[in-house]
Each structure stands twice: as C-alpha cells, then as structure tokens.
Amino acid sequence: MGSQLPHGAVRAYTMGERGARNQPATADDIAAMSRLVTEAVEAGALGFSTSRTLAHRAMDGEPVPGTFAAEDELFGLGRAMAAGGQAIFELAPQGAAGEDIVGPKRELDWMRRLSGEIDRPVSFALIQVDADPNLWREQLDLSAAAHQAGSRLHPQIAARPFGMMIGFRGHHAFGHRPTYRRIKTQCGRDELAQRLADPAVKAAILAEEDLPIDPTVLFDGMSAFVQHALGRLYALGDPPDYEPTADRTVAAIAAARGECPLATLYDLMLEADATTMLMLPLFNYADGNCDAIREMMLHPAGVLGLSDGGAHCGMICDASYPTFLLTHWARDRRRGDRLPLEYVIRKQSRDTAQLFGLTDRGTIAPGKKADLNVIDMDKLTLHPAAMAYDLPAGGHRILQGASGYTATIVSGRVTRRDGVDTGARPGRLVRGAR
C-alpha cells in the first residue's frame, strides 16, 4: 500500500478555516505547507496530490481545499515535494469533469513548466467529457509534445467508461418516491427486496411524484438525475459488459418491450433479488464505445489509473480495472482491435512502478521484488458489482469479484484466497489459491 499527501488536508491543517474555504495562501502559509510536504515524502509518501476540478466538493458543497490555489502555491509545494526525494505530483486539473473546456489546456502550461523546473513527473486526470468529446485528444497531443521536449507529463487514464452504478442497493431513480421511502424505513434489505417485487408496491411507486429535493443535502437530486438519463443508463448483464451497445440502454430496452422506461428500469434493478446494478457512464463514453480510451492507452507516457474503487465507494466501483484490462482489452473486445497481452501487463506493472520511482519492482528480473499471479485466461471472468455493508457504522461500498486467478506468489510465498501462507514455495503451487 502506498499513499500520496493530499493538498486539501495539508491546507486545512496549516491554514485552518482560511485553507478550507480556499482563501489565498500567504508566503508564510506556503512555507508552512512546504515543510509538511517535504517531511511526508521523506517519510515515504509516494508524492503530492491536488484537485482543481469543481466536481470535487466537500459534504457542505464547498469546492475541496486547494481547488483555486494560485501558481505560487502549486510551485512552492511542487518544489517541496521534489526536495523530499523521488515523488510524483498528481492532480485532477481544472475542467477535468467537463465543467470548463478551456481550463484543461491552460493547466497543461503550468504543469509542463513545473515538471521541467523540479525534474519530477506530473500526472493528471484525462477523461473524455460530453461537453467537448474531442478535448481529450488536444490534451493528449499537448502532453505528448511536452514529454518529447523533456517535461515529464503523464496523462492518467481510466481503462473503461467512468461513472456511477445504479441500483436499489445504492442510488436510483425512485429514492424520492413516498412509498419507497416508507417501506425502506420499515424493513431490512432482504425484506425490502421482497416488498419491491410486490406488483402493488411497484405500481404505487411508479404512479407517484417525487418528494421535493433538499438543495443543502449532497446528492439529494440523484433520483431526478437518473430519471433523465435513461437513454445512457446501461444494463450490463452477467458477466458484465462495460462496452455495451446502444440497444442495452434502459430507454432502448423499454422501447423494444413497449413499456414505460421507468417501469423497465424498475424491473431491471429488481433482478437478482433487487441487487442488480446498471452503469451510468458520465465520462469516457460520449461516442458510445471505448475507442477514445484505446487511443489514450496507446499514449507513450500514459499511465493506467483513475480507479475510484474507494473514493466514492457507495456509487462507483472501478477497482476491478486490472482484471478488466486483461479480459476486455487483451482478450474479448468485439470490435477486433484488442491490445497485446504483454502491453497491458507492462502498462500495469513496469510502467506504473517506474512512474512512482519504485525501481525495485515492476519486472521479473534477478534481484527484483516480484509478486506473480497465475491466471487461467480462458476462465478469467469479472462478476457483477454488488453492494457490501462492511464499513464502520454500517457504511456500504460496491465490491466486484473475479474468477480465474489460480494462485498468487508473493515474493516467494503462495497464498490462499484468504491470504494465509500455505507453506508452499516457488515450484509448489497450490490449487485454489490466489
């Protein structure tokens, strides 16, 4: 496990309420933050991360600390990071979520200059946005030119459509219907699924108007948002297909059935005892396919990242990227332009290790640290995403399992699926281990 030092926490700790409210940092503030950044890298932090997109907000709706940081603050913290040792400067740039189509190209200018000055890599989030579906290509070209000129700019790329999982166990279109609200408070999860399957309950929920939205509550408008997105909300199937065709949208399925789209959505979410989840891609799917993702992945300095497996754990589940890269991109893609298995493995292992300065690993070579997965590629399969309730205070998160991992050799140990050392050593694999 590795960690980067987050700008927001450093700013709030150092500047208090001024930092949390994104007030400008003084020279003394920057000096104090810089000391913390250097200490963190010296203590083992892999780098420094910041967010500048308006899509990232605190629970009270305020942009996260550091969103509007001026260049003197960014460069001061970048220099402090470099002074601490081998580390990477990472960010979600302005406009990353499509809220500003001019900002992302402007951000590349200071990123290029910062990387050149501190001689450290700068990695930035790169996704396709609906507001300008071709903006990513301009960013890719600019970063490639900067990289060739000596600046170490690395676009960070999501391996599949980037968005939310929708279902009765999480966010969905009926959360503001009075009948749904009432029965949810009356019963547990299993009984709720049974109640939702009652035709009378379904009819009541579909016939009702939404309760008013509370603008002070984060995500309180999610139900209305989903209701207006049925033309881009996809049924994934089992195993899940993360490059679904247009006929798999809720709107298209409803048209084929001759039904009301909301009724179709209700039935689709009701499958598998009301645990089925659908995909609402917010980014990387403006063209209805993954062609843009493929081109991003071929960028010579691009890195595979942007996994939100933990950041938004109740609505996003992208921690299965490593398996998806093997199944979809190296084996299954129906469009025919699959990527070589060796390339996909290298992008995940060697390239990532090199970017973060972890030169003791990433390749299978004498003297290197190597954890090896033994995989049955014919049986490698992703399972549908499912909600788990194992966080403190009953908090929930979306998990996704996979089949086909035969064994894992961790620096010479073979482990079972529960992580227990089997006692076997290289040359003695244990069936059923992972």
pLDDT band (50, 70, 90) for residue 179? very high
Q: Are residues 157 and 272 in the same domain?
A: no
Judged against a pLDDT cut of 50, whether residue 432 lies above it is answered with no
**H/E segment holding residue 112:** helix 103-118
> Which of 421 and 134 is assigned the larger pLDDT?
134
44 and 191 both lie in a single domain:
no
Q: Are residue 304 and residue 348 in the same domain, yes or no?
A: yes
Domain-ending residue, one of 282, 303, 334: 282
Which pLDDT band holds residue 422 (cuts at 50, 70, 90)? low
Segment 180-226, tens digit of pLDDT: 999 999 999 889 999 999 999 999 999 999 999 988 776 788 899 99
The residues facing 397 across adjacent strands are 388
Of 240, 263, 282, the residue at which a domain comes to its end is 282
For residue 428, is pLDDT > 50? no
d(CA 150, CA 161): 31
Specify if 365 maps to a domain: no
Given this model, what pLDDT does residue 371 score? 84
| Tens of pLDDT, residues 222-244 | 899 999 999 999 999 999 999 99
Does the pLDDT at position 308 exceed 80?
no
| Residue 362 forms part of a structural domain | no
Inter-residue contact 173 to 164 (CB < 8 Å) = no
Co-location of 146 and 268 in the same domain:
no
- Same domain (yes/no): 100, 188: no
Element (H, E) at 387: strand 386-388
154 and 170 assigned to the same domain? no
- What is the rounded distance in angstroms from the CA atom of residue 19 to the CA atom of residue 5? 16
Helix (H) and strand (E) counts in the chain? 16, 15
The dihedral of CA 187, 191, 192, 198: what is its sign?
negative
pLDDT band at 2 (very low <50, low <70, confident <90, very high): confident
- The reported pLDDT for the residue numbered 310 is 61
State the average pLDDT over residues 334-359. Answer: 90
The model scores a pTM over 0.85: yes
Quick one: 49 and 153 in the same domain?
yes
pLDDT over threshold 90, residue 95? no
State what percent of residues in the chain have pLDDT above 70. Answer: 93
Say if 363 falls within a structural domain: no
235 vs 58, higher pLDDT: 235
Band (319; pLDDT cuts 50, 70, 90): confident
Residue 29 near residue 43 (C-beta atoms within 8 A): no
Same domain membership, residue 72 and residue 17:
yes
Asked if residue 427 belongs to a domain, the reply is: no
Mean pLDDT, range 253-277, rounded to an integer: 97
Here the tokens at position 188 are 């547990």
In a domain? residue 301: yes
User: Are residues 247 and 382 both part of a single domain?
Assistant: no
Q: Is pLDDT of 41 > 90?
A: yes
Separation of alpha carbons 222 and 213, rounded Å = 9
Q: Does 298 reside within a domain?
A: yes
Amino acid at 320: S
pLDDT of residue 219: 76
Average pLDDT over residues 166-186: 95
Average pLDDT, the chain: 90
As for how many domains the chain has, the answer is 3
Q: Which 8-state DSSP code applies to residue 91?
A: E
What token pair was written down for 25? 């940092």
Across the range 65-92, mean pLDDT stands at 96
Higher per-residue confidence, 35 vs 417? 35
Same domain membership, residue 260 and residue 169: yes
Q: Which residue has the higher pLDDT, 307 or 50?
A: 50
Q: What's the mean pLDDT in 134-158?
A: 90
Domain assignment present for residue 432? The answer is no
| Among 282, 317, 333, residue at a domain's last position | 282
Contact between residue 66 and residue 18 where contact means Cβ atoms under 8 Å apart: no
**24 and 147 in one domain?**
yes
- Please give the residue range of the domain that contains residue 138: 5-162+284-356
What pLDDT does residue 220 have?
Answer: 83
Query: Does residue 429 belong to any structural domain of this protein?
Result: no
| Residues 391-418 pLDDT 10s | 888 888 888 899 999 988 877 666 655 5
What pLDDT does residue 430 have? 41
pLDDT at res. 419: 57
Does 168 lie in the same domain as 152?
A: no
d(CA 25, CA 39): 20
Percent of the chain scoring above 90 in pLDDT = 68
3-class SS at 1? coil
pLDDT score at 414: 61
CA–CA separation, 359 vs 353, rounded Å? 6
